[in-house]
């Protein structure tokens, strides 16, 4: 029986069972009350006192049982074999159907409740949830407390959230699109009820267009999708991502010299070669004086197309120095 209960609970069936009538000694509960996840019921009299016959926990592995209590002593039930007679009965089997009825009503309110969630809800709303024991578990079942706002509040838009006016968390109980956890939808409203409108849904310039809807400047009401372009203000007034033609940057090559207007200058060239000396200390070509060539900021080579290339100047300088050493070595000693 316990194995069957385990399978049923694993498949989503909420199960209630009697804890047994073997009390008041500890550990007298019966199967399948010991199954983890099943809701086991102990019995009380009509004053809420635990009946002596009601079986006690714990389970063999030390878990608290029963889970809840319900009236099961001197309760009026139909007399078996009759159609109009009643009798006072005793037993945890009479407490169990009362609790199961509460569970059925809760499933009507919240059909998505799992077995574990049902157990947690009933334990949390019972008479002593903070001090469970093996005589009465978490205490007397309280269906009204378990139902909570379902019995005391309204859900006008049927979005699963109760109205804030009666203690719920729905900030607009007339609109099913507005409730905690809802998606923001670029409409300038607090759809998820977190108390704040998203920054991109605040119409800062009052032009009727939100940033999330395409407003490219929420501080300037003259800039909005569909606005007229001013061709001379260099501003994207209609937020289409295109600037004014009058403000577009110009392109083209720089002109150098001449008045041709074609945008292409003529390159100037100079035919330079190493100079030839006519004698000591004279030269008809490049000079090695170290003076700056025109336009080169003091470099020993010419720039901007003027003067000899650096390689030719260096070769000329080396040739001059070798010739000077030759003259020195040839003098009589």
CATH number for position 88: 3.40.50.200
Q: Would 316 be classed as within a structural domain? A: yes
Q: Burial, 84: exposed, middle or buried (Cβ in 10 Å; 0-12, 13-18, 19+)?
A: exposed
Q: Would 189 be classed as within a structural domain? A: no
Helix (H) / strand (E) containing 326? helix 310-329
Q: Which of 9, 95, 114, 5 is nearest to 54 (CA)?
A: 95
Supply 35's token pair: 């199954």
Tens place of pLDDT per residue across the chain (333 aa): 999 999 999 999 999 999 999 999 999 999 999 999 999 999 999 999 999 999 999 999 999 999 999 999 999 999 999 999 999 999 999 999 999 999 999 999 999 999 999 999 999 999 999 999 999 999 999 999 999 998 889 999 989 899 999 999 999 999 999 999 999 999 999 999 999 999 999 999 999 999 999 999 989 998 999 898 888 788 888 898 886 666 766 555 444 444 444 444 444 444 444 444 444 444 444 444 444 444 444 444 444 445 555 556 666 666 565 555 555 444 554
Q: Would 325 be classed as within a structural domain? A: yes
Helix (H) / strand (E) containing 314? helix 310-329
Supply 323's token pair: 């010739």
Question: Domain ends where: 116, 150, 184?
Answer: 150
- Strands lying side by side in the sheet with 39-44: 16-18, 39-44, 68-71
Q: Would 9 be classed as within a structural domain? A: yes
Residue 151, pLDDT score: 86
Residue 33, pLDDT score: 97
Question: Domain ends where: 105, 130, 150?
Answer: 150
Residue 119, pLDDT score: 97
Q: Burial, 122: exposed, middle or buried (Cβ in 10 Å; 0-12, 13-18, 19+)?
A: buried
Q: Would 197 be classed as within a structural domain? A: no
Q: Would 186 be classed as within a structural domain? A: no
Supply 119's token pair: 């157990």
Residue 187, pLDDT score: 93
Under DSSP, is residue 4 helix (H, G, I), strand (E, B) or coil? helix
Q: Would 208 be classed as within a structural domain? A: no
Question: Domain ends where: 130, 150, 170?
Answer: 150
Under DSSP, is residue 50 helix (H, G, I), strand (E, B) or coil? strand
- For tokens 């399948």, the residue is 32
Residue 297, pLDDT score: 46
- Contact by Cβ (8 Å): 281, 289: no
Which residue range is the domain that position 294 belongs to?
290-333
Residue 255, pLDDT score: 45
Supply 191's token pair: 């759809």
Q: Would 12 be classed as within a structural domain? A: yes
150: number of CA atoms within 13 Å, CB side? 14
Total domains in the fold of the chain: 2
């Amino acid at each position: 029986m316990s194995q069957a209960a385990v399978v049923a609970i694993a498949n989503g069936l909420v199960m209630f069972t009697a804890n047994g009538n073997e009390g008041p000694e500890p550990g007298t509960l019966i199967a399948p009350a010991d199954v983890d996840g099943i809701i086991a019921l102990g019995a009380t009299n009509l004053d809420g006192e635990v009946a002596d016959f009601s079986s006690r926990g714990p389970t063999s592995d030390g878990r608290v049982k029963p889970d809840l209590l319900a009236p099961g002593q001197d309760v009026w039930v139909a007399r078996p074999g009759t159609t109009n007679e009643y009798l006072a009965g005793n037993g945890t089997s009479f407490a169990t159907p009362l609790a199961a009825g509460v569970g059925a009503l809760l499933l009507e309110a919240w059909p998505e409740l799992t077995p574990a969630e049902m157990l947690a809800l009933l334990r949390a709303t019972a008479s002593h949830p903070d001090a469970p024991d093996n005589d009465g578990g978490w205490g007397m079942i309280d269906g009204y407390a378990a139902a909570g706002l379902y019995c005391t509040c309204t859900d006008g838009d049927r979005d699963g959230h109760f109205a804030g006016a009666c203690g719920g968390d729905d900030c607009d109980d007339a609109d099913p699109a507005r409730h905690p956890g809802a998606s923001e939808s670029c409409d300038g409203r607090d759809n998820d009820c977190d108390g704040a409108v998203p920054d991109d849904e605040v119409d800062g310039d009052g032009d009727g267009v939100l940033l999330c809807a395409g407003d490219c400047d929420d501080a300037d009401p003259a800039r909005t999708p569909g606005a007229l372009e001013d061709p001379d203000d260099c501003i994207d007034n209609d937020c289409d991502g295109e600037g004014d033609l009058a403000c577009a940057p110009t392109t083209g090559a720089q002109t150098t010299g001449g008045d041709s207007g074609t945008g292409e200058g003529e390159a100037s060239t100079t035919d330079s070669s190493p100079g030839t000396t006519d004698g000591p200390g004279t030269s008809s070509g490049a000079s090695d004086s170290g003076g700056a060539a025109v336009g080169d900021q003091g470099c020993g080579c010419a720039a901007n197309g003027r003067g000899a290339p650096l390689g030719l100047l260096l070769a000329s300088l080396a040739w001059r120095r070798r010739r000077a050493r030759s003259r020195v070595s040839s003098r009589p000693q």
